């Protein structure tokens, strides 16, 4: 049964947006870039390139430099609401594509740097259970969520994904790569897991990011430049994705992109393609529509395994016979589906799947609908709840923009 038919039948959630791994998702984008540089792409576990109706092959082919800028947390809805860069320098392509599942940075950024789905690369959540360690690990910080310590030799970020990254595959055909991201992330475990020893240019501000991107393009030879901006995601979590703070940061990002990257490339006649997309979107959550996992545990009689994921996409293992009680407790706010069924029907992407996928997540997925959430615990009055979140399958989380500019031809 196709993914959409199974999911809508299993959840009665008709407006859920499902990942389009067959040629319409962010996981397909790096494969299109690999193909443009002459890298063989008909290899497992790579997904297919983006569909020609979304990104025509000739738009990237023969470009000397391809720049991919990922804006963390930017939904298509936010672009439609606040974009001005498309009027200043119109892109050749303006499309909406899907994120991957789960719609979270560890999973989606890994897909954008490997060309594989979360089901294949195994970084399938904000937190996952690693059987070899017996702990739930935060994949952004690479630390146990219980606060304990782990010998770094037992948790090697470079060994988290067993297949070559896009940077490795380009290196094999003689194409260099550069990562441009915040200087604080340069030697972070997540960076090492996703880009390894690829050359890294750190920035501190949007202006410096734009300058770094532009200077990387000016180097001679064929090159892939991967840029990343985290500001919108951080502000959206705290203040909400429609907040003045998040919207202003997006406008500042666009100003830096236009003045620091697009106009200089156009004026110099650089042979370059610039692609802007996001890892996932963001949705506003309602503190009145949250149910803590602590409260749910009391309903089902405790957990049979540690919860994983995050508050809008939780991995759970419940006592035998408790699934119906869980589904009843979250009715109207969440959907409950077996992880094995989600794998079988392709929610995590096509096979091959990581051999530990179910172990890393749990037996069931608890997916937040609309503006609900399932935090570990409800914060007290002295710590207000975050107003933005992601991880689930609403349009605001799943649908992200893709803008493409082509210069120098």
Q: What is the pLDDT of residues 292-319, one digit of tens each?
A: 999 999 999 999 999 999 999 999 999 9
The stretches in the chain having pLDDT less than 70 are 378-384
Residue 380 is predicted with a pLDDT of: 54
Residue 386 is predicted with a pLDDT of: 82
The residues pairing with 309 across neighbouring beta strands, listed in sequence order, are: 314
Q: Which residues contact 380 (CB under 8 A, 6 or more apart)?
A: none
Residue 152 is predicted with a pLDDT of: 73
Residue 319 is predicted with a pLDDT of: 95
How many Cα atoms within 13 Å fall on the side-chain side of residue 138?
11
Question: The tokens 């939904």 sit on which residue?
Answer: 75
Residue 402 is predicted with a pLDDT of: 98
Residue 379 is predicted with a pLDDT of: 55
- Read off the pLDDT of residues 69-121 as tens digits, 9 standing for 90 and up: 999 999 999 999 999 999 999 999 999 999 999 999 999 999 999 999 999 99
Nearest to 78 by CA among 248, 262, 255, 274: 248
Residue 383 is predicted with a pLDDT of: 65
Q: CA-CA-CA-CA torsion for 366, 352, 341, 337, nearest 10 degrees? A: 10
> What is 30-54 written as a DSSP string?
HHHHHHHTT-----TT--PPPPTTT
């Amino acid at each position: 049964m196709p993914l959409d038919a199974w999911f809508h039948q299993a959840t009665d959630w008709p407006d859920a947006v499902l990942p389009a791994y067959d040629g319409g998702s962010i996981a397909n984008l790096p494969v299109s870039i690999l193909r443009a540089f002459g890298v063989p792409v008909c290899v497992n576990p790579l997904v297919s390139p983006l569909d020609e109706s979304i990104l025509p092959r000739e738009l990237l082919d023969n470009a000397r430099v391809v720049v991919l800028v990922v804006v963390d947390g930017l939904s298509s809805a936010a672009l439609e609401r606040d974009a001005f860069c498309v009027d200043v320098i119109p892109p050749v392509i303006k499309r909406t594509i899907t994120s991957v599942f789960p719609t979270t940075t560890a999973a989606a950024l890994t897909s954008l740097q490997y060309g594989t789905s979360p089901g294949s690369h195994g970084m399938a959540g904000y937190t996952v259970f690693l059987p070899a360690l017996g702990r739930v690990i935060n994949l952004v910080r690479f630390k146990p969520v219980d606060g304990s310590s782990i010998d770094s030799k037992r948790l090697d970020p470079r060994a988290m994904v067993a297949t070559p990254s896009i940077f490795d595959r380009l290196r094999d055909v003689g194409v260099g790569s550069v990562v441009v991201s915040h200087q604080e992330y340069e030697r972070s475990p997540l960076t090492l897991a996703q880009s390894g020893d690829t050359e890294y240019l750190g920035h501190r501000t949007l202006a410096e990011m734009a300058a770094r991107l532009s200077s990387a393009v000016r180097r001679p030879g064929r090159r892939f430049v991967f840029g990343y901006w985290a500001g919108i995601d951080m502000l959206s979590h705290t203040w909400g994705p429609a907040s003045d703070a998040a919207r202003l940061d997006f406008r500042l990002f666009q100003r830096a992109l236009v003045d620091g990257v697009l106009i200089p490339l156009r004026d110099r006649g650089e042979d370059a393609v610039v692609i802007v997309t996001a890892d996932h979107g963001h949705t506003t959550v309602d503190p009145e529509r949250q149910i803590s996992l602590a409260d749910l545990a009391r309903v089902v009689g405790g957990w049979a395994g540690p919860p994983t994921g995050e508050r809008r996409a939780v991995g759970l293992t419940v006592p035998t016979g408790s699934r119906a009680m869980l589904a009843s407790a979250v009715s109207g706010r969440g959907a409950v589906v077996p992880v094995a069924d989600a794998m079988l029907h392709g929610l995590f992407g096509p096979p091959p799947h990581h051999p530990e996928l179910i172990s890393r997540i749990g037996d069931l997925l608890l997916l937040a609908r609309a503006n609900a959430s399932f935090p570990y615990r409800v914060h007290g009055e002295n710590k207000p709840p975050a107003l933005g979140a992601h991880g689930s399958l609403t349009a605001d989380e799943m649908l992200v923009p893709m803008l493409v500019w082509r210069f120098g031809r």
